[in-house]
Amino acid sequence: MSHTTESPVTRWWWVRHAPVVDAHLKHITGQNDVDADVTDGKAFQALAQHLPANAVWFTSPLKRTAQTAQALTRAGAEAVEPLVEPAWAEQNFGDWTGLTWDAIGADQPFWDAPTTSRPPGEGSESFSDQCDRVAKRSLELSDEFAGRDLVCVAHAGTIRAALACALGLSPEQALTAQVYNLSLTRLDYVGAGNWRVVGLNQVC
């Protein structure tokens, strides 16, 4: 009689960072390293109680994710030193970083293919580029930390990219997803490239 061995489930807890300071100005933040507004103590406490113990934590290299992780610890989440994961950075908008979409205008060739076009400037990315790097690293870390809980404090674009990987969405479909600040998205990696969606964009 043959026996099949099931892969251990790796549980992903994606958290979008707190709102950036001056978010009302609606600048394209991208990889601009701006501060997060971590003053909403009740929101942090509500989210912290839903996060698992004995988890591996990650942030992106941008300080708004580290500040959010620190605020979650102060609010009651388990105190863990997060690993900094470059692949979780927000999309690089190149020369458009810090501008507003209104300032850029609607007559840009970018809008002919907004998920595959790259903004002007060295190092800029398309959303498809971001999807590729997030998918690749998600699978690598799912194998490296098989069976663990992984808490990732990241960005809206990064979480949309993770959803694209898990649900088999096109970048165009994934870009339509709303991801709220301090929301929780739960994905399980069950092995062999397969995912299970547990919860999307939950505001605790």
Domain that holds residue 163: 10-92+127-203
In this prediction, residue 118 has a pLDDT band, given cuts at 50, 70 and 90, of: very high
Does residue 98 lie within any of the structural domains? no
- The pLDDT value given to residue 1: 44
Q: Which two tokens stand for residue 139?
A: 């699978």
Does residue 101 lie within any of the structural domains? no
Degrees, nearest 5: CA angle 88-92-98: 120
* Separation between Cα atoms, residue 161 and residue 148, nearest integer Å: 21
Predicted model pTM: 0.95
- The pLDDT value given to residue 5: 58
SS3 category, 118? coil
In the predicted structure, residue 3 carries a pLDDT above the cut 90 = no
Does residue 104 lie within any of the structural domains? no
- In the predicted model, what is the mean pLDDT of residues 127-143? 98
- In the predicted model, what is the mean pLDDT of residues 37-53? 98
Does residue 107 lie within any of the structural domains? no
Percent of the chain with pLDDT over 70: 98
- In the predicted model, what is the mean pLDDT of residues 129-158? 98
Per DSSP, the chain holds a count of helices (H) and strands (E) of 6, 6
Look up the CATH number of the domain holding residue 171.
Answer: 3.40.50.1240
Question: Over the stretch 89-111, which tens digit does the pLDDT of each residue have?
Answer: 999 999 999 999 999 998 888 99
- In the predicted model, what is the mean pLDDT of residues 18-41? 95
In the predicted structure, residue 10 carries a pLDDT above the cut 50 = yes
Strand runs (DSSP E) across 62-148, as ranges?
83-84
**Backbone φ/ψ region at 202: left (φ over 0), alpha (ψ -120 to 50), beta:** beta
Query: What is the total count of domains within the chain?
Result: 1
Does residue 113 lie within any of the structural domains? no
Q: Which burial class, exposed, middle or buried, applies to 128 when counting CB atoms under 10 A from its CB (0-12, 13-18, 19+)? A: buried
